[in-house]
Structure 1
Amino acid sequence: MSQLKWFKSSFSEASGNNCVEVAATPDGVALRESDAPAEVLTTSRGALLSLIRGAKAGNVPSDGSDC
């Protein structure tokens, strides 16, 4: 995963140590926190898109319960 080109939001903190980074992979998408770059989560593009759409629509619970 070290050869991936990582991107972070322009809304991220100026110091760059408090953000989520995203990289395209051959099979989908990789995500990591900038303060823990060795811990990488991978998922499909479709699953990430569904999460983002759900969050924008307010359909992602913030209390830890299932959708």
Structure 2
Amino acid sequence: EKSASYNQKYGIYLEDSTFNVITGNILEDNGLGAIYEKFNDDTDYPDVFFNCGYYFYNNFIVNNPN
């Protein structure tokens, strides 16, 4: 069971999501916890990672002329 303070620290709002737990732990372990927490203030962070991933996929995989 995740506590409210755990959710606030890691910005995890999607329940039972291993990806979010792993991402939060990786960022925290690498000293990027402060940057990670700032995502929570203005936006919902899964959208940030999804948009970056979609941008990469669309521009480098789908539209790659090679």
Is the shorter-chain TM-score for this pair beyond 0.5, marking a shared fold?
no
Higher helix proportion: 2
Structure-2-length-normalised TM-score: 0.33
* Greater relative contact order (CA < 8 Å, ≥ 6 in sequence): 2
> Whose Rg is larger?
2
